[in-house]
């Protein structure tokens, strides 16, 4: 079934890419000129997906390992398409090839989401990830010498500077795009917040960022104006401090929208540990302080693997897993897993 859907996706994506390019001058080759590219692309897609076991019925589509392999398969597929166009020395429109790949990637991901919904999948942490986190929990019993050794291992496995450069460029592009797309909704959200509870609609909190640096975090207010600014976060769905509008904002994580500005300023990233408040960081043990060595993010591993369903103390363990396994593919996989959490929220109080 998935293979048939993928063929349909590839055909539709090529037609859409060709139509989009044909709408602008100069004219390009007729559609049948791209048939060899389509046939090769479908075969290459099957090969890439088979290599990374994307068609396995035993793998939950929403698992992090599946999404990582899905992204790697797409990267391999894109490389094969570029190689085909180059070595055949065919005068394909570069715009058609780029749009074809982008449309295909988006539609293939949407098809996977629909498969997951049809199978009523629940997003569960991968077994390997759970085992790794179990080992990380033991860090709390380590001595300072052991922690120094652990920090040495972390630095040895740290991504290259190219990764951080790409990550920052990604943050700037999509942070700006996110801010532009969400700004039109600000007046309505501000009106609803003030209608529920008089007071400022946007709150400013001091948070701790990378390397312990303080910064101002912006978010829409979801609790009554009388609530103390640094009060503990709600732990249940019927918390009386949360307003009606606030409950809706929290459910779909819309209260975090102003943080796109934090991303553009460089205080935060799209992906990373959540920034903590000062009084919590002051009580960190040595091993917990490791999470402060990377830039905090709007979304992260802990949020997508259970969010408020899981005890708060597990937050740091998931953050440490992310720190020790940072990669561009992992960042993309976390963003992809965030999408169904926003569309079909659970455990967000």
Q: What's the pLDDT score for residue 105?
A: 97
157 plus 252 within the same structural domain:
yes
Q: What's the pLDDT score for residue 60?
A: 87
Q: What's the pLDDT score for residue 262?
A: 98
Question: Looking at 127-131, 184-188, 190-194, 319-323, which range is the least confident one?
Answer: 127-131
**Average pLDDT value over all residues in the chain:** 87
> Could you say which of 118, 140, 158 is where a domain stops?
118
97 plus 155 within the same structural domain:
no
178 plus 318 within the same structural domain:
yes
175 plus 302 within the same structural domain:
yes
105 plus 132 within the same structural domain:
no
58 plus 167 within the same structural domain:
no
181 plus 222 within the same structural domain:
yes
Residue 60 inside a domain? The answer is yes
151 plus 112 within the same structural domain:
no
Q: What's the pLDDT score for residue 35?
A: 96
Are 41 and 10 in contact by the 8 Å Cβ rule? The answer is yes
Q: Which residue has the higher pLDDT, 204 or 147?
A: 204
Mean pLDDT across 118-122: 71
Q: Is 169 helix (H, G, I), strand (E, B) or coil?
A: helix
Residue 286 inside a domain? The answer is yes
Query: Can you give the residue range of the structural domain that contains 7?
Result: 2-118
Residue 348 inside a domain? The answer is no
Quote the tokens at residue 130. 């759970």
pLDDT tops 60 at residue 140: no
Q: What's the pLDDT score for residue 61?
A: 87
pLDDT, tens digit, 9 for 90 and up, residues 227-285: 998 888 887 777 899 999 999 999 899 999 999 999 999 999 999 999 999 988 998 88
146 pLDDT tier (thresholds 50, 70, 90): low
Q: Is 142 helix (H, G, I), strand (E, B) or coil?
A: coil
| Most confident range, picked from 12-16, 57-61, 133-137 | 12-16
324 plus 201 within the same structural domain:
yes
294 plus 189 within the same structural domain:
yes
Question: Looking at 152-161, 164-173, 188-197, 239-248, which range is the least confident one?
Answer: 152-161
Q: What is the DSSP string of 37-88?
A: HHHHHHHHHHHHHHHTTTT-TTS-TTSHHHHHHHHHHHHHHHHHHHHHHHHT
100 pLDDT tier (thresholds 50, 70, 90): very high
> Could you say which of 76, 99, 118 is where a domain stops?
118
Residue 122's contacts (CB-CB under 8 Å, 6 or more residues apart) are 62
The pTM (predicted TM-score) of the whole model is: 0.88
Q: What's the pLDDT score for residue 53?
A: 94
150 plus 92 within the same structural domain:
no
Question: Looking at 23-27, 82-86, 95-99, 303-307, which range is the least confident one?
Answer: 303-307
Mean pLDDT across 23-41: 95
Q: What is the DSSP string of 286-349?
A: TTGGGGGGS--EEE-HHHHTTGGGS-GGGHHHHHHHHHHT--HHHHHHHHHHHHHHHHS--S--
pLDDT tops 80 at residue 52: yes
pLDDT, tens digit, 9 for 90 and up, residues 318-347: 888 888 889 999 999 999 999 988 877 765
Q: Which residue has the higher pLDDT, 128 or 93?
A: 93
For the chain, how many structural domains are there in total?
2
197 plus 321 within the same structural domain:
yes
pLDDT tops 80 at residue 144: no
Residue 349 inside a domain? The answer is no
> Could you say which of 69, 97, 118 is where a domain stops?
118
């Amino acid at each position: 079934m998935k293979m048939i859907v993928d063929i349909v996706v590839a055909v539709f994506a090529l037609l859409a890419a060709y139509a989009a390019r044909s709408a602008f001058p100069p004219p390009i080759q007729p559609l049948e000129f791209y048939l060899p590219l389509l046939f090769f692309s479908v075969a290459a897609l099957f090969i890439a997906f088979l290599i990374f076991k994307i068609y396995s019925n035993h793998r939950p589509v929403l698992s992090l390992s599946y999404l990582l392999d899905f992204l790697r398969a797409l990267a391999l597929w894109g490389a094969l398409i570029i190689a085909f166009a180059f070595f055949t020395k065919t005068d394909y429109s570069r715009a058609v090839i780029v749009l074809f790949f982008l449309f295909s990637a988006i539609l293939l991901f949407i098809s996977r989401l629909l498969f997951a919904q049809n199978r009523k999948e629940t997003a569960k942490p991968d077994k390997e990830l759970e085992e790794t986190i179990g080992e990380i929990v033991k860090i709390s019993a380590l001595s300072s010498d052991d922690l120094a050794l652990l920090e040495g291992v972390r630095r040895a496995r740290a991504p290259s500077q190219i990764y951080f450069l790409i990550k920052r460029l990604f943050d700037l592009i999509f942070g700006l795009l996110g801010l532009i797309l969400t700004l039109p909704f600000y007046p309505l959200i501000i009106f609803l917040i003030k209608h529920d509870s008089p007071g400022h609609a946007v709150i400013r909190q001091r948070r701790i960022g990378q390397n312990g640096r303080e910064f101002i975090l912006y978010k829409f207010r979801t609790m009554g104006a009388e609530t103390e600014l640094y009060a503990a976060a709600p732990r249940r769905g019927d918390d009386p401090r949360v307003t009606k509008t606030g409950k809706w904002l929290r459910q779909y994580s819309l209260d975090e929208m102003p943080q796109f500005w934090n991303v553009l300023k460089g205080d935060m990233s799209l992906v990373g540990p959540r920034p903590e408040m000062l009084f919590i960081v002051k009580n960190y043990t040595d091993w917990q302080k490791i999470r402060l060595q990377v830039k905090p993010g709007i979304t992260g591993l802990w949020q997508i693997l259970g969010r408020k369903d899981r005890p708060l103390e597990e937050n740091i363990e998931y953050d440490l897993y992310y720190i020790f396994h940072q990669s561009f593919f992992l960042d993309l996989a976390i963003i992809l897993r965030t999408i169904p959490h926003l569309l079909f929220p659970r455990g967000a109080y």
